[in-house]
Amino acid sequence: MSESRLDLPNIDTTLFQPPDTARLLAPERAGHAPRFLLLYGSLRERSYSRLATEEAARILRALGGETRMFNPSGLPLVDDAPSDHPKVQELHALTQWAEGMVWCSPERHGAMTGLMKTQIDWIPLSVGAVRPTQGKTLAVMQISGGSQSFNAVNQMRVLGRWMRMLTIPNQSSVAKAWQEFDEAGRMKPSAYYDRIVDVMEELMKFTLLTRDAAPYLVDRYSERKESAEALSKRMRQEVI
> pTM of the prediction?
0.90
Beta strands in the chain (DSSP E): 35-40, 66-69, 100-108, 111-112, 137-143, 166-167, 172-174
In sign, the C-alpha dihedral spanning 173, 178, 180, 181 is positive
Cα dist. 176→22, 54, 110, 123, 147 in Å?
A: 48, 18, 15, 30, 6
Residue 130: the pLDDT is 72
Residues for the chain: how many in total?
A: 240
> Would you report the helix, strand and coil content of the chain in percent, each value rounded to 5?
45, 15, 40
Q: Tell me how far apart the alpha carbons of residues 182 and 193 are, in angstroms, rounded to a whole number.
A: 13
Per-residue pLDDT at 74: 97
Q: Could you tell me whether strands 100-108 and 111-112 are parallel, antiparallel, or unpaired per DSSP bridges? A: antiparallel
Q: What is the mean pLDDT of each run of 10 residues along the chain (240 residues)?
A: 69 90 88 97 96 98 98 96 96 96 96 97 82 94 93 96 96 95 96 98 97 91 82 57
